[in-house]
Structure 1
Amino acid sequence: MYRRNIKHILIPLAAGLALVIGYNLFLKPILPPPTVQRTKTVEPVAPPPAPPRSGSPESEDKSVRVLDYSVVPPTPHEGLLETIRDEIEKHNLSLAETKLKELPSTVLLNAKSKPFIAILWNNLGLQQERLNGTRASVKAFKRAADLDDSNSVILMNLAHAYWEQRDRALNAEFLMKLMKVAPEEPFPHLAMADLLQEQDELQEAAKHLDQAADRARHDPGLRSYLAAVTAKVRRTRSVESRMTAKSSTHFVVKFDGEENQDTWISALEILEEAYREVGQKFSHFPTKPIMVVLHAKDSFQGATGSPAWADGLYDPTLGRIQIPTQGATTDRKWLASVLRHEYVHALLHDRFGASSGALPTWLNEGLAMQLAGDAWPELDQAMSGDFTVTPLTYLEGSWGALPASAAIVAYAEANSATRYLIERWGMARVDELLNALQAKSSLADAIQNKLSVSYEQFNRQWLESFEAS
C-alpha cells in the first residue's frame, strides 16, 4: 500500500502540539522537567489483538494428505517396496527418492505395484514439503499423479503444490480433471476462480466461487472467506465493466475511457521502466501480465475499501494495482512513486504466491520503499521530532486499521529497518531470507538461520542505528 503526502495531517498535529506546549508553559503548575528522548520503545506488554485471519485456499481442510502404505501389495517386488517405505518412515528421503527413481520398468508396470508406488511418491513429497517447503515436493507429487491420476488425494496434493508455487501447470484442463476426481472438494473451484480472475473473466470466476462455497458448507471460516471474495469480485466487475483496457508487454491498464487517456499512457511507460529496474534489483520478474486499474478519485476508496490515508494499493485477492487518477496528469512524479511502490508489492506477491501471508508487513512495505526508490520527505520531517517506536513484532500484521498518525511511524520504521537489513547483510542475503519465509519458516527462524542473529538482536541492533541516525 502506498501512503500519500500527509502534510495536511501533520500541520494540525503541530498546531495541537503547540496548544499542549502552551498549556504546559503557562497554565500547568511548574514541575521538574522530565527527560525527553528522541525515541523510545513501547514496552512489550500484551500486544494489540490480531485481526481475524482471512481465509485462504491454504485454510481448506487438508487433513487427509498422507496415504496408508502400511500394507505392501504381495508381488515379486514386495521386499524392495517395503525397503523404500521404511526409508521414508525413517526420513532417509534422499535414499528413498533414489531407490524410487531406480525402480525397474517391470515393477512400474505391475498392476498391483503401480498404485502403491504412487503412494510412496505422495508420502515422500509430504515429507519433503515439511522439511523444505512446497517447492521441494512438486516433483514427487507429479510422479505420484503420473502413476495414479485417479487418486483424489494425490491430485489434491499436487494441486495445492502448484497453487503455492503459482505453477502454470495449474491450468483449466488440470482443474477440470480434478473436479471430476474430487467432485465434493471446494479447492478446484476456488483455484479455477483465481485462474479466471487472472484472465479478467470475473463473471465466470464468481460462478466458481459460488460452487466452492456450496462445497464448503461444513467449513464456516472458508464459507465466510468465499462470500467476501465473491462480493469483491462482483463489485469489481460492476466497476470495471465501464472501463477501457490497454495492454503493453507486461501490463494491462484499465481506465475510464478518454478521460484518463494521458494517464494510462504515462502509467504504461512508468510500469515498463519499473519492470526492468526493479526486476534487476530483485532478481525476479512477474510470471504473468499485471493488471492496473485507474480509478476516479471519488470512487477509489469505495471500489477498493482502502484506508483514507492510502493513495494506492495492490489487491492480492484480485491481482490488481489500484490507484486514483486525480492529479496524475499534472504530477508525474507522484504517479511514478505510487505505481513503482505498488508494483513491488505485486512482484512480491507473484514471487510468494499462496505463501504471501508469510511476509511480515513491515518487510513487505520496507522492500516496496527500498526497491521502488521512494523518496518521502514527510517521513524525515515527522521523524525529526519526538515519537514512539513500535517494536517490529507489532508491525508484522495488517496496517489497514492504523490511523494516519500511526501509519507514518510504521512506514518510517519499515523503511529504516529494511534499509538497515539490506545495507548490513546485502540483497543476496535478503533474498535467502525471503526464500526461507516462502518455505514456511517463521520470521524468527529465518532471521536466525540466514542472518545468524536472533530476531530480538536484529530489532535491537536496528533500533540502535535508528536512534543514532
Structure 2
Amino acid sequence: MYRRNIFHILYPVACLVGLFVVYQAWFKPTFLPAPPSDQSTAHVEDSQPEPAKPTDEAPREPELKHTRLIDPSVIPKTSHHELLETIRDEIEKGHVDTAEIKLVDLPAAITNNDTTRPYISVLWNNLGIQQEKHGGTAVSIKAFKKAASLDAKNPVVQLNLAHAYWELRDPAMTQDFLEHLTVLAPEEPFPHLALANLFQERDQLGEAARHLDHAIARAGKDLALQSYLQTVTAKVRGTEQSETRLTSRGSTHFTVKFDGDADQTTSVAVLETLEEAYREIGQKFGHFPSKTIVVVLHSKSLFQSATGSPVWADGLFDPVLGRIHVPAQDALADRAWLSRVLRHEFVHALLHDQLGSVGSAVPTWLNEGLAMELSGDRWSDLEQIMKQDFTLIPLPALEGDWGGLSSDAATVAYLEANSAVHYLIDRFGMSQVRELLVQLKARQALSTAMQSQLSLSYEQFQSRWESQLPHHEKNG
C-alpha cells in the first residue's frame, strides 16, 4: 500500500503516537484492520454493480504440498538390480551428489528399458525431494524434470514437477500441461488451482472461477484449503462482476481498467508512468514481471470499499488477483502524487512476481521499505522527521499486516521501513538484498536468512540500524 506523506500532522501528535505505538507493539499482539465502512457504497447500489467484497488482509495460500516421495523398495528384477539398489540407498542416506552422478552416468540401455525406466523416474523424483530439502526448488527442478521425462503417466511425478513450476513461476507450466495433469490426477485440487491462476493472469475471471470451483470440490476435508479457495473464489467472482462495466486500455506490459470517458486521459498517463517504471525499476532490481499487470482506476468514493484498504491508503496492490488499485479522481491535478503511487505499487507487483506464492512471508516493513526505496519515494523531509522525538516500533512488530494502524502510527511504520531498508541497501548492497529475498523465497525465516546472507542476527541488524539514527526513544 502507498501512504501519502503527512509530516504536517505528525509533529503535533508525536506524544500521542508514542503512547499508541507502545500499545500496538507490546500489548496488542496483532494489527487488526478496522471493519470496512458500509456508508461509502450505500448511495451507488442502484447504479453500480456491487464491488468485490473487501477483505482486510489477503488470504494466505495454504501449504499444498504433501509427502511426495514414491516408495522405491521394489526394484525391477533385472541384471541392473544391484546398481539401482546402490543409487536408491545413496538417496535414502541423503548422499544427493553421489546419487545424482550415478543416475546421470546410467547407460542408455537402462534408462530406455521399459522395465527399468519407470523405476529410474522414481529415483530421480526422490532425489529431487532430497535436493529440495537442502537447496530449495531452484535446485530440485532439474531432477523433477528428468523424472517427468522418463514417466509421463506417473501422476505423483508430474504433480511434483507442477509444484516446482508453480513455486518458480516457470512458464513451462502451460495450460496444456495442467489440463493433462487434471486427467492424470483427477481428484487433485492443485491442477485446477494452478489453472485458475493462469486464467486470472489472462484476465479470464469466469474461467478462473470455474476451475476454483473444481478445486473446492476436490479439497476434501482440508479446512484450510477449503477456506482459502472459497475466499479467493468469492473475490474472483466479485471482481468479475464489478469490472464488467469498465473500459480497458493496454500497453506492452500493463492493462488499465477505468470507468469510460471520465478516466480516458488518466489511463493514458497511468500507462506512460508505469512503462517508465517498468524499465527503470526493473533494471535497478534486476527483475522484470513475467506477466501483464492489471491496474484498476477507482473513484475516490469507491476505492476503500472496493479494495478493503485502510482510510490512509492512497494505493493498493492486491496479491490475490495481482492487480494495482488506485483512486483516479482528480489524479491528473497532482501528477507527482500519481507517479509516486504507481511506482510504489509497481514495486509490490514486481516483488510478488519474483517471490510468487511465498511473497506473503516477506515482512511488511521489508516489503514497504523496498517499495519506497526502489520507486525513489524517499520523502523529502524524511531526515527531519526522523530527528523528531518519537518512539520507535521494533521491526519484528512491523512484520505483519498494517491495515489496523491509525494514520499516525502508519506514518511512523513507513518511516521506519524506509529508513531500515535504506540502511540495508546502503550497508550491504542491492545484490545482497536480492540474495536475502532468494532465501525468503526458499521459506527461510528472516532471522535465518539474515544470519546466512548478512552474517549478523536480526537483533544485530536492528541494533546497528538504530545506532545510526538521530537520538530517539526506543520502545522497550
Whether 1:94 and 2:75 are equivalent positions in the alignment is: no
Shift of 1:251: 1.0
Letter in 2 for 1:263: T
Among 81, 85, 88, which residue is 1:85 paired with?
A: 88
Matched residues in 1 for 2:416 and 2:143: separation?
42
Identity %, equivalent residues: 56
Compute the TM-score of the two structures, normalised by the length of structure 2: 0.88
For the 8 Å contact 2:193–2:212, the answer to whether it is kept is: yes
Whether 1:369 and 2:372 are equivalent positions in the alignment is: yes
Shift of 1:55: 5.6
2:29 maps to 48
Letter in 2 for 1:268: L
1:176 maps to 179
Paired residue secondary structure (1:64): coil
Matches within 5 A, 1:59-70: 59-60=63-64, 62-70=65-73
Matches within 5 A, 1:243-258: 243-258=246-261
Pair 44,400 (structure 1): closer, same or farther in 2 beyond 3 Å: closer
2:215 maps to 212
Matches within 5 A, 1:198-209: 198-209=201-212
Paired residue secondary structure (2:468): helix
Whether 1:268 and 2:271 are equivalent positions in the alignment is: yes
Question: Residue by residue, what CA displacement relative to the aligned partner does 1:401-445 show, whole Å, maximum 9, x if unpaired?
Answer: 222222111111110100000111111111211111112221111
Paired residue secondary structure (2:311): coil
Whether 1:450 and 2:431 are equivalent positions in the alignment is: no
Question: Residue by residue, what CA displacement relative to the aligned partner does 1:120-175 show, whole Å, maximum 9, x if unpaired?
Answer: 11111111111111111111111111111222211111111111111111111111
Pair 46,181 (structure 1): closer, same or farther in 2 beyond 3 Å: farther
Matched residues in 1 for 2:309 and 2:24: separation?
30
1:135 maps to 138
For the 8 Å contact 1:5–1:378, the answer to whether it is kept is: no
Paired residue secondary structure (1:149): coil
Matched residues in 2 for 1:85 and 1:467: separation?
60
Shift of 1:99: 1.5
Matched residues in 2 for 1:274 and 1:308: separation?
26
Matched residues in 2 for 1:83 and 1:12: separation?
73
- Which 10-residue stretch deviates more, 226-235 or 374-383? 374-383
Pair 387,452 (structure 1): closer, same or farther in 2 beyond 3 Å: same
Question: Residue by residue, what CA displacement relative to the aligned partner does 1:44-93 show, whole Å, maximum 9, x if unpaired?
Answer: 86771487997655522x32311111232211111111111122122221
Pair 411,145 (structure 1): closer, same or farther in 2 beyond 3 Å: same
Matched residues in 1 for 2:175 and 2:100: separation?
30
1:326 maps to 329
For the 8 Å contact 1:42–1:389, the answer to whether it is kept is: no
How many residue pairs align between the two structures?
447
For the 8 Å contact 2:315–2:326, the answer to whether it is kept is: yes
2:2 maps to 2
Whether 1:228 and 2:231 are equivalent positions in the alignment is: yes
- Which 10-residue stretch deviates more, 355-364 or 307-316? 355-364
Letter in 2 for 1:48: P
Matched residues in 2 for 1:366 and 1:238: separation?
34
For the 8 Å contact 1:193–1:206, the answer to whether it is kept is: yes
For the 8 Å contact 2:309–2:316, the answer to whether it is kept is: yes
- Which 10-residue stretch deviates more, 388-397 or 194-203? 388-397
1:345 maps to 348
Matched residues in 1 for 2:66 and 2:58: separation?
19
For the 8 Å contact 2:3–2:315, the answer to whether it is kept is: yes
Matches within 5 A, 1:405-424: 405-424=408-427
Matched residues in 1 for 2:225 and 2:429: separation?
40
Whether 1:304 and 2:307 are equivalent positions in the alignment is: yes
For the 8 Å contact 2:31–2:405, the answer to whether it is kept is: no
1:157 maps to 160
Letter in 2 for 1:208: H
Structure of higher RCO (CA pairs closer than 8 Å, 6+ residues apart): 2
Question: Residue by residue, what CA displacement relative to the aligned partner does 1:98-125 show, whole Å, maximum 9, x if unpaired?
Answer: 2212211111122221111111111111
1:121 maps to 124
Compute the TM-score of the two structures, normalised by the length of structure 1: 0.90
Letter in 2 for 1:106: A
Question: Residue by residue, what CA displacement relative to the aligned partner does 1:188-234 show, whole Å, maximum 9, x if unpaired?
Answer: 11111111101111111111111111111311111111111111111
Shift of 1:337: 0.1
For the 8 Å contact 2:72–2:123, the answer to whether it is kept is: yes
Pair 106,195 (structure 1): closer, same or farther in 2 beyond 3 Å: same
Question: Residue by residue, what CA displacement relative to the aligned partner does 1:274-331 show, whole Å, maximum 9, x if unpaired?
Answer: 1111011101111122111111111111211111111111111101111110221111
Pair 187,43 (structure 1): closer, same or farther in 2 beyond 3 Å: closer
Matches within 5 A, 1:188-199: 188-199=191-202
1:32 maps to none
Paired residue secondary structure (2:371): helix
For the 8 Å contact 1:93–1:124, the answer to whether it is kept is: yes
Letter in 2 for 1:2: Y
Paired residue secondary structure (1:467): coil
For the 8 Å contact 2:136–2:442, the answer to whether it is kept is: yes
1:27 maps to none
Shift of 1:375: 3.3
Shift of 1:6: 3.6
5+ unaligned residues in a row in structure 1: which ranges? 21-36
Paired residue secondary structure (1:314): strand
Pair 41,49 (structure 1): closer, same or farther in 2 beyond 3 Å: closer
